[in-house]
Amino acid sequence: MTETDLKSLRVLIVGGKAANVQILRTAFGLLGIRLITAIQEPGRAVEALRTSVYGAIFCDAAAERFERMPFHVAARRAAGVLGPMTPLFIVYSHAHQRHVEQARDAGVTDVLTHPVSAATIARKLEVSIKRPRNFIAAATFFGPDRRTDRSNTWYGHDRRKRIAKKTRILVPDAASNDAVLL
């Protein structure tokens, strides 16, 4: 992704502490991104998503809920959202594996943790914009396909392939009351 591509990108930052928002703004500034909207309240952020299209959304994990659902879920599922397939990143102060899995299962494109660097943001934006994953729409899930790498680069022996093996089975013989090996 070139610098000019990033300069034209519109980014929405939702919720979080003022210091965390400022860190993201600084990282975006280093990348040349100038069209940044920061909204503290999730309700106003969903309204912004209903009226404008953004190139990427960055949501703080501590953002408040919107109509009984986390903002990152509302950004995908709320009625009237113009870009439900927009790359959506959730930012944690510190993340455990269960946080990452929960975010992935909720339809988040990727997870960032503080401290966030401009290089990390640029790499993740490039992957999400240049090589977007297919979206899955199901009753309980709406988001990018959770499997990130679909390349068939494995050249070794397939260990999961079923191979028929001979087995010995003892079957009772009713006529002689003995077991017979097959």
What per-residue confidence (pLDDT) applies to 178? 61
What per-residue confidence (pLDDT) applies to 153? 60
- Beta-carbon contacts of 102 under 8 Å, excluding residues fewer than 6 positions away, are none
What per-residue confidence (pLDDT) applies to 131? 82
What per-residue confidence (pLDDT) applies to 6? 75
Q: Which residues pair with 136 in a beta bridge?
A: 143
What per-residue confidence (pLDDT) applies to 38? 92
Domains of the chain: 3-144 (3.40.50.2300)
Number of Cβ within 10 Å of residue 72's Cβ equals 27
What pTM, to 2 d.p., does this model score? 0.74
Residues of the chain with pLDDT under 70: 1-4, 147-182
As separate numbers, helices (DSSP H) first and strands (DSSP E) second, the chain gives 6, 11
Q: If you write DSSP's letter for every residue of 121-151 in order, what string do you get? A: HHHHHHHHHHSPPPEEE-SS-EEE-S-----
